Amino acid sequence: MMYLPRLDPRDDAEPFPDVEHALVEPNGLLALGGDLRPHRLIRAYRHGIFPWYSHGQPILWWTPNPRAVLYPERLKVGRSLRKTLRKRPYRVTMDHDFLAVIQSCAALRPNSDGTWITARMVQAYLSLYEMGFAHSVEVWCDTTLVGGLYGVAIGKVFSGESMFTRMPDASKIGVVYLVCQLRRWGFGIVDCQNHSPHLERLGAELIPRAEFIRCLNCYADQKGIPGPWCLDSDLELIF
């Protein structure tokens, strides 16, 4: 019989269970309940835990094993994407329109029954953005938003949450700019949470959860970069 600890929604200082107590199936499910107030979310990310649930479900907290990560110095850019980057078809910004990015990520997609980015989640991450913990990358074609992503930064760790694209390579280009900027700032790891072929082609790899937690403990307590973020004007795309 599956047992999950239930978190008290009235106590956002309540500790999370140890990540080693997460279920094997479904992979990484750790607890349910609680709330999405900023202090609980920040503490969750600091311990390698994130919320992911669908409309009508209680809040579900996850810490999968193995964990998908991208080390900034191991970014991979294929030949086709390199050609696109040299043409500079898009303009890229950071923290320019967080709300538009998360709403675009939440929009229903073809062959999808729904979205896990509920109105409650949008408001929670908007609060983190206003506090300087959540950040967005916007990809523009002229003045039209055509791609982007958002995530949460704790110290020198960036946890990616979701991305979207409306034109070829737009989200990939957003990732490349983000990772190159994070590398310049000395970030040690980009947490991709779960594996996807899209991220694997950019250099994401699976590592044991214990190794991820060691990296998290090393980099999360380092001094972060206060928001709002902005791409360096002289940023070089090195890969």
| pLDDT tens digits, one per residue of 178-218 | 999 999 999 999 999 999 999 999 999 999 999 999 999 99
Domain 6-64: state its class. Answer: alpha beta
Is there a common fold for 6-64 and 68-219? no
Choose among 109, 157, 161, 163: nearest CA to 139: 163
Strand order in the sheet with 6-7: 6-7, 29-33, 60-62, 50-51
Q: Mark residue 34 as left, alpha or beta (left: phi above 0; alpha: psi -120 to 50; beta: remaining).
A: left
The pTM assigned to this predicted structure is 0.95
Q: Into which CATH architecture does domain 68-219 fall?
A: 3-Layer(aba) Sandwich (3.40)
pLDDT of residue 49: 98
Residue 111, both tokens? 């062959």
Mean pLDDT over each residue of the chain, to the nearest integer: 95
Choose among 164, 192, 167, 197: nearest CA to 179: 192
Residues of the chain below pLDDT 50: none
pLDDT of residue 3: 83
Give me the residue spans of the domains in the chain: 6-64, 68-219
